[in-house]
Amino acid sequence: MDKFIQVIAKNMNLYGITPSVGRLYGTLYFNDGPMTLDEMRDALEMSKTSMSTGVRALSEMKMVEPAFKKGERKDLYKSEEDWYKSFTSLFGNRWSHHTESNIEEAEETIQALERIRQQTDEQDLIDKISLDIDRLRYAQNYYKWLIKFINVVETGEIFNFIPKDDID
């Protein structure tokens, strides 16, 4: 299991999650029940502060949630076991922010180029600006399409096109 947990941690790095947080998720996922921060610390030989920070990050990504166990007074946490749900949430959160930001940046650049174009009489510069604005509009259209794709992933509609495979 340790080897596979390392693989999980390595793969989660593709989504901007540090390997230590990836190992934490893998440890929670393969544990037979919820864990306290102390149990996580002992299992991963990391500080309790690191565990707390990792749990908070995973909670924000909806990959870890609080758990309850009768008689246990310490906070318990368990992993989200639906990897499809985790992926759609993580993918949506990460990509939405960057994509919307790219659309805004392109628009700001277009506005700046428009101001320069209005202030110049140099035809070569006017032609270059026009070409650059066309490229930026193309990029914006791509990002708008990407937002639609992200929405299909986030809402779960993606599974209408690419079904989850159930293993019996």
Q: Is the pLDDT of residue 49 over 80?
A: yes
Under a CB-based contact definition with an 8 Å cutoff, are residues 36 and 28 in contact? no
97 or 44: which leads in pLDDT: 44
Residue 167 pLDDT level (bands cut at 50, 70, 90): low
Amino acid at 89: S
User: Taking the C-alpha atoms of 15, 19, 24 and 29 in order, what is their torsion angle to the nearest 10 degrees?
Assistant: 60
DSSP 15: G
Structure tokens at 11: 């793969």
* Residue 15 confidence (pLDDT): 77
Mean pLDDT calculated for residue range 109-123 = 97
Torsions phi, psi of 71, nearest 5? 90, -10
pLDDT tens profile 53-74: 999 999 988 889 999 888 888 8
Give how far the C-alpha of residue 139 lies from the chain's centroid of Cα atoms, to the nearest Å. Answer: 21
CATH number for region 2-79: 1.10.10.10
In this structure, how many other beta carbons lie within 10 angstroms of the beta carbon of residue 26? 22
State how far the Cα of 9 lies from the Cα of 137, in Å rounded to an integer.
37
CA 62 to CA 121: how far, in whole Å?
A: 55
Mean pLDDT for the chain overall: 91
pLDDT of residue 143: 96
pLDDT tens per residue across span 2-26: 899 999 898 888 878 899 999 999 9
pTM metric for this prediction: 0.72
Q: What would the two tokens of residue 35 be?
A: 């864990």
